[in-house]
Amino acid sequence: MPHEFSRRLEAAPLLCDGAMGTLLYARGVSLDACFDVLNLNNPRVVQSIHADYIAAGADCIETNTFGANRFKLAVHGMDGRVREINRRGVALARDVRESSGRDVLVLGSIGPLGKYLAPLGTVTTEEAQAAFLEQAEALLEGGVDAFVVETMSDLDEAALAVTAVRSITDLPIVAQVAFTDDGATFTGRSAAEVGRFLRMLPIQALGANCSVGSSTLFEVLEQMQPEAGGLPLAIQPNAGLPSRIGERLIYLSSPTYMAEYADRMVDAGARLVGGCCGTTPQHIAAMRTMLDQKRPGRGGGARPTVTVRPAAVSESPGLHVARPPTLLGRKLAAREFVVTVELDPPRGHTVEKLVQGAKLLKERGVDIVDINDGSLGRVRMAVLPTALLVREATGLDINMHFTCRDRNLMGIQADLLGAHALDVRNILAMTGDPPRAGDYANATAVFDVDGVGLIEILRRMNEGLDATGSSIGEPTSFWVGAALNPAAADVEREVDRFHRKLQAGARWIQTQPIYDLELLDRFLARAGGSPVPVFVGILPLHSARHAEFLHNEVPGIAIPDLVRRRLRESGDGALRAGIEMAQRLVRDVRTRYAGAYLMPSFGRFEVVAEVLDVLR
């Protein structure tokens, strides 16, 4: 027997409510507050919004649970209260319905997790499904009439959410995807593709919501409708795009404008209409008037003729002429032993000392230098201008480290495209140290993706695509490396990440500082070997105190007892002993691995230069 939501949806177009966040903001709640927690600590404001939408004529109201999953709630320290917040969200909506005297339907709102799925991000399929299941169970326990999986950008994430809901109930599910003003999803999927994908899921309605206004979502509706397989369509646009006026975000679409488009959407086949960001009870009231004025059967008869826009034609990949390999790429192809030395960007705005050190290294035969990116979470000159200034002054090839801490997903791609345009194409992809490891403990880290996700982004760019699958025109020609910590406390996790980095497209590996090659040998044996070249990190030790600090206080560095004992016993000759041990490592690495990656301590380039004398 069909559920009430399905019966009503078949009988006539339904009107959903509008924005929750917009009205909470208008009623004094901060934009950066956790709206879902208001179910517990300010239920009256949530209920007042439900009541206003019911009074405006909504047939359905959505629970205030859009962000009530463990990942989003964790940002506010509330991830342990997922069930409580979701159950309470349903209870608030049901209580308002009962007191209103109108038999409106309560829809359980499930939004995206707020983190990217692997391989682009760090959330596994199992973790995502568990999070969606936890939220869905709580909404079901609360007594929702149906579910709305909404504002999804990633179709795979939408499918995981739907699967989680369907595993526990046969209640109706509406699946809605967010689109850009180009009429494609944020991952580059067309409306037609979305329709074909969603209709294969165990859902009762599909459509679009949020991000853009009525005109764009009307076009999305037109393209999605022929691909929906007969499923009802649900469209809930924003009230246009927001403008910032003073400290307020203002949406410009009027109630009349949105009601007119809702009228057109129903004529084009929509069975559920409503609003998203920026819409208010006034907008919903105008849509109610429109629906009540429609002639009987006007929205449920024969389907209208639909205009389907042809898919955009992408540039032919055959027109791409790849840039020649970098110097690093050529050395690897020729199986030459590679020596690269790390340079830390300056803490000020001049690079004179760095350039002098780089010139000294070039005199000792170094061809490639690594430019670090925000080592240890401390403020230094940005990595790209440092790399350009060093290259311009010395002619050395650059291997640029690139971390995910300080840039969101758009900033990462913008900086990478700029680097490629400036012919900085060797990239060591790294997650990066958190700010709390450095001088700015209260600074905010981004970490939209980790090192594995960054390698995936670079691989896609080399295929001519951005992270969402949209074309960037001519493909890039990056040479991508990855970091490895063979001394990691959790060896199995590091082995797994090593394999994921290789699968994502890493062309070489650079290790943390190594003082015992057998440690690296054992790690790689456990990992099944390395199909790509490995550069062994070597950091010359200056004193016994230096060695003890690295061994005991720096994660990922393990210095054998024998090495630390020799430095203690060397007394004033500890630096000489450290150089000699580093030279021995370089000789051993040369016979067993593809390259050596030297790291000067305390900016003492002359120490590294002396270590390199062993290669002459």
Q: What is the predicted pLDDT for the residue at 303? A: 31
**CATH classification at residue 472:** 3.20.20.220
**410-429 pLDDT tens trace:** 999 999 999 999 999 999 99
pLDDT band, residue 300 (cuts 50/70/90)? very low
Q: Given 3-state DSSP classes, what are the helix, strand and coil percentages for the chain, each rounded to the nearest 5? A: 45, 15, 40
In angstroms, the CA 242 to CA 329 distance is 47
Instruction: Give the least confident one: 202-216, 345-359, 374-388.
Output: 374-388
Does the pLDDT at position 307 exceed 50? Answer: no
Kindly state whether residues 203 and 341 are assigned to the same domain. Answer: no
Which one, of 147, 66, 57, lies nearest residue 112 by Cα?
A: 66
Last residue in a domain, options 293, 326, 350: 293
Q: What is the mean pLDDT of residues 41-50?
A: 96
Give Cα 253 to chain centroid, integer Å.
31
Domain assignment present for 474: yes
Total Cβ atoms within 10 A of residue 355: 18
Q: Which residues pair with residue 147 across a beta bridge? A: 108, 173
Kindly state whether residues 470 and 367 are assigned to the same domain. Answer: yes
**17-30 pLDDT tens trace:** 999 999 998 898 88
Written as one string, the DSSP assignment of 354-398 is HHHHHHHHHHTT--EEEEPSSGGG---S-HHHHHHHHHHHH--EE
Q: What is the predicted pLDDT for the residue at 321? A: 43
Instruction: Give the least confident one: 12-16, 32-36, 518-522, 592-596.
Output: 32-36
Q: What is the predicted pLDDT for the residue at 60? A: 98
In angstroms, the CA 170 to CA 166 distance is 6
Last residue in a domain, options 258, 293, 328: 293
pLDDT band, residue 302 (cuts 50/70/90)? very low
Q: Are strands 242-245 and 248-251 parallel, antiparallel or unpaired?
A: antiparallel
Q: What is the mean pLDDT of residues 190-211?
A: 96
Does the pLDDT at position 312 exceed 50? Answer: no
In angstroms, the CA 379 to CA 443 distance is 11
Kindly state whether residues 224 and 352 are assigned to the same domain. Answer: no
Contact by Cβ (8 Å): 366, 339: yes
- Residue 368 corresponds to which tokens in the numbers above? 């490639």
Q: What is the predicted pLDDT for the residue at 244? A: 52
Phi/psi for 493 (5° steps) reads -65, -40
Q: What is the predicted pLDDT for the residue at 301? A: 35
Q: Is 60 helix (H, G, I), strand (E, B) or coil?
A: strand
Domain assignment present for 331: no
- Residue 324 corresponds to which tokens in the numbers above? 């020649």
Does the pLDDT at position 304 exceed 80? Answer: no
Q: What is the predicted pLDDT for the residue at 475? A: 95
Q: What is the mean pLDDT of residues 487-493?
A: 91
Q: What is the predicted pLDDT for the residue at 248? A: 57
Q: Is 15 helix (H, G, I), strand (E, B) or coil?
A: strand
Domain assignment present for 329: no
Contact by Cβ (8 Å): 386, 377: no
Kindly state whether residues 239 and 381 are assigned to the same domain. Answer: no
* Average pLDDT of every residue of the chain: 90
Domain assignment present for 308: no
Which one, of 533, 525, 450, lies nearest residue 491 by Cα?
A: 525
Q: Is 344 helix (H, G, I), strand (E, B) or coil?
A: coil
Total domain count, the chain: 2
Kindly state whether residues 205 and 350 are assigned to the same domain. Answer: no
Domain assignment present for 193: yes
Q: What is the predicted pLDDT for the residue at 32? A: 78
Domain assignment present for 63: yes
Last residue in a domain, options 293, 323, 346: 293
Contact by Cβ (8 Å): 594, 532: no
Residue ranges of E strands in 276-396 = 338-343, 368-371
Question: The whole model's pTM is what?
Answer: 0.75
Instruction: Give the least confident one: 32-46, 445-459, 568-582.
Output: 445-459
Total Cβ atoms within 10 A of residue 342: 20
**Domain interval for residue 219:** 4-293
Domain assignment present for 212: yes
Does the pLDDT at position 317 exceed 50? Answer: no
Secondary element (H or E) of residue 56 = helix 43-56
Kindly state whether residues 341 and 286 are assigned to the same domain. Answer: no
Q: What is the predicted pLDDT for the residue at 516? A: 93
Q: What is the mean pLDDT of residues 218-246?
A: 88
Does the pLDDT at position 318 exceed 80? Answer: no
Q: What is the predicted pLDDT for the residue at 342? A: 96
Does the pLDDT at position 247 exceed 90? Answer: no
Q: Could you tell me which residues come within 8 angstroms of residue 98 by beta carbon, excluding any fewer than 6 positions away?
A: none
In angstroms, the CA 536 to CA 251 distance is 55
Largest CA-CA distance found in the chain, in angstroms, rounded: 97
Q: What is the mean pLDDT of residues 307-328?
A: 49
Domain assignment present for 316: no
Kindly state whether residues 96 and 192 are assigned to the same domain. Answer: yes
Cis peptide before 385 (omega within 30 of 0): no
Kindly state whether residues 287 and 348 are assigned to the same domain. Answer: no
Phi/psi for 270 (5° steps) reads -70, 140
Question: Among all chains, which residue has been given the structure tokens 């230094």?
Answer: 380
Total Cβ atoms within 10 A of residue 305: 7
Q: Computed from CA positions of residues 506, 508, 513, 516, in that sequence, does the dihedral angle turn out positive or negative?
A: positive
Kindly state whether residues 341 and 266 are assigned to the same domain. Answer: no
Contact by Cβ (8 Å): 176, 208: yes
Q: Could you tell me which residues come within 8 angstroms of residue 610 by beta carbon, excluding any fewer than 6 positions away?
A: 579
- Residue 218 corresponds to which tokens in the numbers above? 């009307």
Total Cβ atoms within 10 A of residue 293: 10
Q: What is the predicted pLDDT for the residue at 305? A: 30
Kindly state whether residues 42 and 131 are assigned to the same domain. Answer: yes
Q: What is the predicted pLDDT for the residue at 108? A: 98
The CA-atom distances, in angstroms, between 281 and each of 17, 35, 182, 372 are 8, 19, 28, 53
Question: Among all chains, which residue has been given the structure tokens 């034609």?
Answer: 313
Q: What is the predicted pLDDT for the residue at 267? A: 94
**69-118 pLDDT tens trace:** 999 999 999 999 999 999 999 999 999 999 999 999 999 999 999 999 98
**CATH classification at residue 259:** 3.20.20.330
Does the pLDDT at position 3 exceed 80? Answer: yes
Q: What is the predicted pLDDT for the residue at 266? A: 96
**355-367 pLDDT tens trace:** 999 999 999 999 9
Q: By percentage, how much of the chain surpasses pLDDT 70?
A: 92
Buried b (16+ CB within 10 A) or exposed e, 227-245: bbeebbbbbbbbbbeeeee
pLDDT band, residue 437 (cuts 50/70/90)? very low
Kindly state whether residues 344 and 230 are assigned to the same domain. Answer: no
Q: What is the predicted pLDDT for the residue at 467? A: 87
Kindly state whether residues 275 and 158 are assigned to the same domain. Answer: yes
Phi/psi for 511 (5° steps) reads -95, 165
